A and B are shown apart, each in its own frame.
Chain A
Amino acid sequence: MDQELQLIERARNGERAAFDSLVDIYKGKAFALAYNFTGNAEDAKDVLQEAFVKAYLNIGKFRGGSAFYTWFYRILVNQCKDALRKKQARMKVLVDTHEPVDEDDESPVEAVESGPGPGEALLNKEIREKVDKAINMLPENQKMTFILRHMHGMKLAEIAGVIRCSESTAKVHLFRATKNLQKALSPYIKTEGGGQYGIV
């Protein structure tokens, strides 16, 4: 951690090698977040590069009031949102002009099977696709809160710092996201005693 603080300080003073080291530290997790949000590796790569460029340009403004990763994730999240808006606008144009969308692009990622867990074995491919689709259909802030909480294990206070809202607002986003997912996936959910999945 001390080493990271030193890197941040050196990067703030304009040392390029220190910034490169920070890129190496954060690029893996940040790519995962960008991928979870954009849904494909090529967009995730573009978004991540843009976020690092913005961080490099603005690192002098980082005052250290929050953790560096919270500051960087904020930049990344904003880039993800921008990319998604642009993509939605492009898709709208394509739909309006009845042009076919090419979905056969080879993805530069390889699917990783983490091994079948006890619950995972029950889920078939169709449900996984529906889950991904349902998450992608969530409103921006709900989607981001949900991804940061459940896929990246961040605390509500950290999420609030990233998406710049109060902790209670983040909690509301998370609650609504969970409710919306539950609703969207209701045809595929086995109801046992009518219990609901709460926010953890």
Chain B
Amino acid sequence: MASFKDIMDMIAKKKAPEPQKGFWLKFDRELGERLDAIDSRKSSRSYGFAEGLGATFSSFFQPKPVLAAATFIVAVNLILFSLASRGPGLVSVALIAKDDLAEEFVLTNELASGENIVDF
């Protein structure tokens, strides 16, 4: 019979078994293959992303008739939308009648020099 201290000493001295010859070679090879697979996945993922981004941008510069037509339609729609949504107060100066224009100038001239327009 042994004392518990003997057992604890035995546990402390117990060494892990030495792997057989070739164990670490096999281990390194298998691990290397797994890490290689991760690396290739990583690089293919980043390549795929870059490729996709490039394809998206290059499609804008390709002279395909469908793409050109779509671009034209979008541009026309944008112009129409901006014209339709123009507010009533936003009128081009060129469209103002001469009398109205004169009134606008009179109002502006009535402001005292140095008077803050915000306070007015």
A and B from one complex: yes
What is the bound-complex CA distance between A197 and B12, given in angstroms? 14
Q: Is the CB of A151 within 8 A of B18?
A: no
Which residues from chain B contact A20 at a C-beta distance below 8 Å? 32, 35
Specify which of A36, A153, A188, A197 is in contact with B1 (CB 8 Å cutoff). Answer: A188
A30 → B minimal CB distance (Å): 10
- Choose among A48, A131, A185 the residue with the greatest number of B CB atoms under 10 Å from its CB: A131
- Asked whether A131 and B10 contact (CB < 8 A) given A16-B39, A108-B19, the answer is yes
Interface hits, A150-165 → B, CB 8 Å: 150-151, 153
- Asked whether A57 and B6 contact (CB < 8 A) given A110-B17, A120-B13, A150-B11, the answer is no
What is the bound-complex CA distance between A49 and B2, given in angstroms? 38
Q: Is the CB of A188 within 8 A of B17?
A: no
Interface residues on B, range: 20 to 34
A128 → B minimal CB distance (Å): 7
Segment of A71-79, A81-89, A91-99, A111-119 in the binding face: A111-119
- Asked whether A197 and B8 contact (CB < 8 A) given A35-B16, A41-B19, A53-B38, the answer is yes
Q: Is the CB of A109 within 8 A of B7?
A: no
Q: How many A-B residue pairs have CB under 8 A?
A: 108
Residue in chain B with minimal CB distance to A149: B12
- Asked whether A27 and B17 contact (CB < 8 A) given A119-B9, A197-B5, the answer is no
Indicate if A2 sits at the interface (CB-CB under 8 A). no
Q: Is the CB of A110 within 8 A of B16?
A: no
Indicate if B23 sits at the interface (CB-CB under 8 A). yes
Interface hits, A41-70 → B, CB 8 Å: 41, 45, 48-49, 52-53, 56-57
B41 → A minimal CB distance (Å): 10
Indicate if B27 sits at the interface (CB-CB under 8 A). yes
**Could you write out 6 A-B pairs with CB less than 8 Å apart?**
A27-B24, A27-B27, A108-B19, A111-B17, A112-B16, A188-B2
Given pairs A120-B10, A181-B7, 10 additional interface contacts (CB within 8 A): A41-B17, A49-B30, A53-B35, A56-B38, A110-B18, A119-B10, A120-B6, A123-B7, A128-B10, A196-B4
